[in-house]
Amino acid sequence: MTDDSLEARTRRLHDHLEATAELPIDRQANRWLGEAEAIARDAASHDLEREVVVDRVRKVQRLLSEVDETGHDEADDHLEAAKACCEAILDGDA
């Protein structure tokens, strides 16, 4: 059984974005993903109020919407998974 707490979901979001950091991806995509990863790290690693976490995930979602593909198949998979994580978090907290 998976942990579906907000903390676990934000941790999964961050993990997907962090996984793209070491991959050879498009420079422009890297900028968006790097900023999204930093915000997701903050949301996942601090004892924040639910509203603050949700606000940060919305910011991550907006940043990720700027990236269609990264130029690397594995990074594209992580990107799509991160977008799905954002949707799951925001749908569950809307």
What mean pLDDT do residues 11-33 have?
A: 95
Confidence category of residue 77, pLDDT binned at 50, 70, 90: very high
What mean pLDDT do residues 12-30 have?
A: 95
Give pLDDT, residue 92: 81
pLDDT in tens, 49-65: 999 999 999 999 999 99
Q: How far apart are CA 48 and CA 7, in angstroms?
A: 10
What mean pLDDT do residues 9-26 have?
A: 95
DSSP 15-64: HHHHHTTTS---HHHHHHHHHHHHHHHHHHHS---HHHHHHHHHHHHHHH
What mean pLDDT do residues 9-17 have?
A: 97
Q: Where are the domains of the chain?
A: 6-93
User: Angle 93-84-9 (CA atoms, 0-180°, nearest 5)?
Assistant: 55
